Homo-oligomer: A and B are copies of this chain.
């Protein structure tokens, strides 16, 4: 499939090219899809959202591209315990706020929160520094998740 958007100068093109990857219509569509939502999409989710407009982008490409974007750091992969990987843009075009996750182990709902995030990030930075020195480990990323039962599920089964 030819790249129909003329592959101009989107915010993310630089990063992808810097990593030696090409800009294609499929990749364009996948990033657009992730940028257009706050949901935590699975590969299948991305596929079905793209399929309407681009019927000829295959699921294999979705998997490959999400993987590549995760390598490049543009996309973050999460596991919320429902058996499939979930993806979100690490940082959107406008540099949205970093957030962490609150996962309901009953209904699998995920709440993004940014409360306390500054304290958390501050502590994480200190910890990262200490750990990377002690273990000679280059730390690229972190992940904080809280697990529990959400409001609705608490009501349904007290």
Contact = CB atoms under 8 A, between A and B. Distances in A.
Interface residues of A, number: 38
Nearest to A150: B137
Nearest to A129: B116
A147 interface: yes
Interface string A97-113: 00000101100000101
A142 B147 contact: yes
Contacts of A104: 137
A131 B149 contact: no
Interface string A118-145: 0110010011101110111111111111
Residue among A104, A126, A139 with the highest chain B CB neighbour number at 10 A: A139
